[in-house]
Structure formats: C-alpha cells, structure tokens
Amino acid sequence: MRILIYMLLAGMFLSAAAMAQQKTYVLVHGAWGGGWSFKQTDSLLRSQGNTVYRPTLSGLGERVHLASQEIDLSTHIADVVNSILFENLHDVVLLGHSYGGMVVTGVADSIPERIGQLIYLDAFVPEDGQSVATAHGQQNAGREMPSKDGLIYPFWNTDGEGLPRDVPQPAKTFSQPLVLKNKDRLKIPTTYILTYEGDDPEKDAFAFFARRAQGHGWKTVNMQAGHNPQMDIPDKLAELLEQVSGAQ
C-alpha cells in the first residue's frame, strides 16, 4: 500500500511539473504576411503540450478581403489585444516577428498584466512616438516604398503564385506613430532574437534593434537563419522558443 501511495504521489508531482512547463504562446506575424506563416512552428510547439494562437492582423492573410486604407497600427494592436482578452489568456508568451514588433510593443503597453514574457524575433523595437518609417531614427526611412490606394504591394510576388502568399500592407500601419504610456510594460521579461546570415550578426539589417534591446537590458540571442525562420527552419525556431521562454 505504501508503495502504491508513493507511486500516486510521484505521478501527481510529475503531472504538475509538466503542466507548469506548458505555456501559452501568441505569435504575431510581420508585414504582408499572416498567421499562416507560423503554421509549422505552431504545430511543433503544440506537440510539446503548449497552447498556441497565431492571429492574423486585419487586412492581411486570410483576412485580405477586409483590406482598407483606413487600417493602421492601432487596428493591428487592437486585433491582438482583443484576441488575448476574448480568449481570456494570462501569462502569455507574446512574440512579434519583424513588423510584429511594433504590434506587440503596443499590446504590452495596453495589457501588460496579461503578458508573462515578450519575444522580439528579428523585429522592430520602437520607442515612444516612433513608427515603422522612423524607428531606425531616420525620418525618411521607409518612405521609399510607394503605396497605391493606401496599400503597399509586395513587389516580390510572382505572377501565378499560389496561396498562401504575401498580400498588400495598409500604408498607415507603417506611418502611424506608436504612443506608449504604460511603464509597466518595462517590467515584462523580454528577449530579442536576432537572425543573421553569414558570419557577422552586426551586419544584419535588424542588428540596430538588437543593440537597442541590449540598451534596455533585455536578453539577446543570435540565431543563424534568414529573416523568416518560422518558415525556413520551424523546428529550430520552436526549440529556441522553448529554451528562451523556459529560461526566464
């Protein structure tokens, strides 16, 4: 009987430990993209017992039929805030990829109490009052990208390319400055993952933001990969996310 009790207690302990390691991820895609870009990473994280959400921002991905020149950065921040609130999520591991860094910064400013960790994946790290166009500290950065009907078209798409694929990005999402008011967001444990190709991470286009992250005292991690590891090497990205989110 004593052995049976010990076995039951051990099973309960192991079960509780496993549940404690399970996390809730919210993965926010970059410009022109959609939640579809994280499909493989989603599956791999779920296979480890995690809960994963990958919302698609208004006017993009499978929501392209809602595209409008009136969609701005605030719209995209509200997309993710409402996903978290309506799903009643807490202690979220919130990741923003590329342009998604703008979005998750706004989300963390809006509902810091719901965010357990922040992860920037080769992403913009804006300061108060900055937009995508000015986040590098250059007033004219990003203005070379022409828009048509209030949308910025992905020039790299090829004729006849199937779905899923990149779609036009509402131009106001790049031009609207982000207003930050809640300093509680600065208390959230944060990691910056800089992806790079070649032999020198400092040559990467997003190294500027990795240095900014270091200036904030955030943990920074280098990952040898292209700009879209969620599609190119989702297994390695999922493994790194589990390491990073479990080390906080």
| Residue 47 designated active-site | no
Degrees, nearest 5: CA angle 26-161-100: 25
From 83, 98, 110, 131, active-site residue: 98
Q: Indicate which residues carry an active-site annotation.
A: 98
